[in-house]
């Protein structure tokens, strides 16, 4: 599986210290749009396996991380490079739009 599950315990190691761009998918199991974007995020993970790291953060399980990123609506997709946020979008996005965020 090429999608990483992020928790507050592995956030620094997997996201902040990553040498590749990181896509964070903030989601919840009860969120319809999140279920729509989930398979797209998985496809992005497969297509960028050596170029980027794709991660999912369940906002119900990790409220501290959701708060740290000021998540107000889900799904929220955030791209981080070198520990800094470079892109932030809310809602369902097409695969090509997500891939272009990782460039």
55 catalytically annotated: no
Collapsing DSSP to helix, strand or coil, 23 comes out as strand
Q: Where are the alpha helices (DSSP H) in 5-77?
A: 11, 32-47, 63-68
> Strand 84-90 vs strand 76-81: parallel, antiparallel, or unpaired?
antiparallel
- Does the annotation count 34 as an active-site position? yes
Please identify which of the residues 15, 22, 23, 34 carries the catalytic annotation: 34
Active-site entry in 2, 3, 14, 31: 31
Active site residue ranges: 31, 34
């Amino acid at each position: 599986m090429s999608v990483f599950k992020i928790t507050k315990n592995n956030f620094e190691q997997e996201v902040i210290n990553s040498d590749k761009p990181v896509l964070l998918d903030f989601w919840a199991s009860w969120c319809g749009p999140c279920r729509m974007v989930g398979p797209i995020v998985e496809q992005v993970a497969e297509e960028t396996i050596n170029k980027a790291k794709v991660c999912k953060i369940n906002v119900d399980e990790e409220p501290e991380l959701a708060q740290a990123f000021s998540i107000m609506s889900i799904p929220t997709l955030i791209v981080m490079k070198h520990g800094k946020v470079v892109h932030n979008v809310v809602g369902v996005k097409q695969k090509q739009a997500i891939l272009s965020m990782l460039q």
